[in-house]
């Protein structure tokens, strides 16, 4: 009975995700598609929680639904009112439809029908077996910052690349909405709360769901809120300091990695006694860079270098 209920719940969630995804893709109205996409992100977050992936649930809610949604909505604001729909031939539509359906069918057959698909027991999973040596007790953080830290290094490099891209091609947007009194109240309550929560997520990531990415996304939300509330200089430091924030994550990562090589070990082999501290150091740098990059992307670009510098920033105060 219990099992049946779970299956029913699973089917409802999975179908809902599929239908929402289809509506996002097939919607002709971009505004509707973006709003549906945000809802889709929240649904995915629910699914991650169901599938015993709380780290992902947090990250999806903050990054997937929250910040991607914010980026898309702000991009939408400048979309021309009526975008002409290009004329497509039936051949185009059905050609690619048939193609992807065949692809899906073949993949489903290979994954689920033909012999295959091995799900090992987690009791002999090397990640759990070696968790004690990793310096943290949250297995996802252990993979991200110790076992497969090199992946994360390259990922932070991807983020850095996009930050330079935004600096190169974007111009800072002036916000149009006048900040009402309520927004001020909301800001005064939420911004400190978000900053505290971000530090908490960063700290707790070592032994419970959380970590640098979630923390960075939450901090970025604080910066975006300040921007919306008409205080862009408070949310973001001046262009010079901004550069330091953008490089913080990758710099910490690389310097730690190269420093560990000094005593002959391979790249990113932390000395046993220092593991937790080094991981926290790298994560702190990553939080600053992630937050700065995402706020920068939301604002649509950096202020030109000659502009007077803003005073303090939350990122700096952290």
Instruction: Count Cβ atoms within 10 A of the Cβ of residue 55 and give its class: 0-12 exposed, 13-18 middle, 19 or more buried.
Output: buried
Three-state DSSP string of the chain = CHHHHHHHHHHHHHHHHHHHHHHHHHCCCHHHHHHHHHHHHHHHHHHHHHCCCHHHHHHHHHHHHHHHHHHHHHHHHCCCCCCCCCCCCHHHHHHHHHHHHHHHHHHHHHHHHCCCCCCCCHHHCHHHHCHHHHCCCCHHHHHHHHHCHHHHHHHHHHHHHHHHHHHHHCCCCCCCCCCCHHHHHHHHHHHHHHHHHHHHHHHHCCCCCCCHHHHHHHHHHHHHHHHHCCCHHHHCCCHHHHHHHHHHHHHHHHHHHHHHHHHCCCCCCCCHHHHHHHHHHHHHHHHHHHHHHHHHHHHCCCCCCCCCCCCCCHHHHC
Which member of 81, 121, 176, 308 binds other proteins (CB under 8 A)? Answer: 121
The token pair that represents 303 in the structure block = 């202020």
Using the rule CB under 8 A, is 151 a contact of other proteins? yes
Quick one: 104 exposed, middle or buried, by C-beta within 10 A (0-12, 13-18, 19+)?
Answer: exposed
List binders of other proteins among 189-248 (CB under 8 A). Answer: 189-190, 193, 211, 213, 243-244, 246-247
Is 170 a residue that touches other proteins (CB under 8 A)?
yes
Q: Considering the complex, what minimum distance in angstroms separates the CB of residue 41 from other proteins?
A: 8
* Residue 127 binds other proteins (CB under 8 A): yes
What does the alpha-carbon distance between residue 275 and residue 141 come to, in Å, rounded to a whole number?
Answer: 12
Q: Between 97 and 277, whose beta carbon lies closer to other proteins?
A: 97
Between 134 and 313, name the residue whose CB sits nearer to other proteins. Answer: 134
Provide, rounded to whole angstroms, the least separation between the CB of residue 317 and other proteins.
21
Nearer to other proteins, 76 or 312 (CB): 76
Q: Does 263 bind other proteins (CB under 8 A)?
A: no
Of 288 and 294, CB closest to other proteins:
294
Candidates 117, 174, 308, 317; binder of other proteins (CB under 8 A) is 117
Residues 55-94 that bind other proteins (CB under 8 A): 55-56, 59-60, 63-64, 67-68, 71-72, 75-76, 78-80, 83, 85-86, 88, 92-93
Of the residues 1, 52, 176, 273, which one makes contact with other proteins according to CB under 8 A? 52
Q: Of the two residues 125 and 307, which places its CB atom closer to other proteins in the complex?
A: 125
Query: At closest approach, how far in Å is the CB of 233 from other proteins?
Result: 21
Q: Which of residues 11-50 bind other proteins (CB under 8 A)?
A: 11, 13-15, 17-18, 21-22, 24-26, 30, 33-34, 37, 40-41, 44, 47-48, 50
Q: How far apart are CA 273 and CA 256, in angstroms?
A: 14
Selected from 135, 136, 142, 256, the binder of other proteins by CB under 8 A is 142
Q: Restricting to residues 269-298, which ones interact with other proteins according to CB under 8 A?
A: 269-270, 290, 293-294, 297
C-beta of 72 vs 318, nearer to other proteins: 72
Shortest Cβ 243–other proteins spacing (Å): 5
How many residues touch other proteins under the rule CB under 8 A: the total is 138
Cβ proximity to other proteins, 86 vs 308, nearer residue = 86
């Amino acid at each position: 009975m219990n099992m049946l209920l779970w299956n029913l719940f699973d089917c409802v969630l999975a179908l809902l995700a599929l239908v929402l995804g289809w509506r996002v893709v097939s919607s002709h109205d971009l505004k509707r598609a973006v709003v549906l996409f945000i809802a889709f992100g929240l649904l995915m977050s629910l699914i991650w929680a169901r599938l015993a992936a709380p780290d992902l649930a947090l990250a999806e809610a903050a990054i997937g639904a929250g910040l991607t949604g914010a980026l898309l909505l702000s991009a939408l604001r400048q979309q021309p009112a009526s975008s002409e729909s290009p004329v497509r031939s039936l051949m185009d539509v059905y050609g690619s439809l048939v193609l992807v359906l065949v692809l899906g069918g073949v993949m489903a057959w290979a994954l689920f029908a033909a012999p295959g698909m091995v799900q090992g027991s987690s009791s002999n999973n090397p990640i759990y077996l070696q968790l004690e040596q990793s310096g943290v007790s949250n297995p996802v953080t252990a993979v991200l910052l110790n076992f497969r830290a090199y992946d994360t290094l390259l990922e932070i490099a991807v983020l850095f690349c996009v930050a330079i891209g935004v600096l190169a091609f974007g111009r800072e947007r002036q916000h149009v909405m006048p900040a009402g009194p309520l927004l001020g109240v909301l800001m005064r309550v939420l911004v400190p709360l978000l900053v505290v929560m971000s530090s908490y997520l960063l700290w707790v990531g070592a032994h419970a769901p959380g970590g640098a990415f979630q923390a960075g996304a939450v901090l970025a939300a604080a910066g975006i809120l300040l921007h919306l509330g008409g205080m862009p200089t408070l949310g973001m430091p001046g262009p010079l300091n901004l550069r330091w924030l953008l490089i913080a994550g990758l710099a910490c990562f690389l310097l730690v990695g190269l420093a560990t090589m000094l005593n002959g070990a391979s790249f990113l082999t932390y000395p046993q006694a220092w593991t937790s501290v080094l991981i926290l150091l790298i994560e702190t740098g990553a939080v600053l860079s992630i937050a700065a990059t995402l706020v920068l992307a939301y604002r649509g670009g950096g202020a030109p270098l000659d502009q007077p510098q803003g005073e303090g920033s939350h990122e700096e105060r952290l």
